[in-house]
Chains A and B, each alone.
Chain A
């Protein structure tokens, strides 16, 4: 089975740094995705990690530890437009199925 956990809500201040955690327990694993979703819109791809370590893309970074079943998304220099839900999703061994967590709703305040 698949179990993906992430916090329901987080609040942070504009210009600050925030870390959104995701833990997973899966029967097979072939990587972890992070998506951003603004209210009422489609999720958009942020990052994909398959090996342990940190992947950096501008203000966003994503980290994976396969041994710990743990990932985080790090957002730096927060902007108001970063207010959105952030979804983590684990990929199965075959690479054809994503199991999503419940999403973390991030509110950025001035």
Chain B
């Protein structure tokens, strides 16, 4: 079945450590997105990529980095520069142009100890 796989589902890190969240999709979608969700709040866009080897900052990109070396993969690194990284991170993808539906992965919950 086609879908988006995020890993790990739960992650704990110490302050000062970088962590990388994986996002893989087999939907052959062109565009991929990373959102952050804090308790009781909506989704805020971190980064997005519309084609391989290209990505743009979203509303809250500071302290995060991404890469898009393959169409299927869009990993997110949470760096030590991110001051409040504890959150639920959602990866999503969308096919081509137009207002097509975003498909989401199951999410990764990051907790900084």
Contacts and interface: CB of A to CB of B under 8 A. Distances in A.
Contacts, number: 57
Given A45-B102, A95-B100, A99-B45, 11 more contacts: A4-B42, A30-B99, A31-B99, A42-B90, A42-B105, A43-B90, A45-B103, A95-B98, A96-B97, A98-B102, A102-B40
29 contacts: A30-B99, A33-B101, A33-B102, A40-B88, A41-B106, A41-B107, A42-B90, A42-B104, A43-B43, A43-B104, A45-B101, A45-B102, A45-B103, A50-B99, A87-B43, A89-B43, A91-B99, A94-B97, A95-B98, A96-B48, A96-B97, A97-B45, A98-B45, A100-B42, A100-B43, A102-B40, A103-B40, A103-B42, A105-B40
B17 interface: no
Interface in B27-76: 31, 35, 40-45, 48, 50
Interface string A36-56: 000011111100101000000
Nearest to B44: A100
A91 B104 CA distance: 16
Interface of A: 4, 8, 30-31, 33, 40-45, 48, 50, 87, 89, 91, 94-103, 105
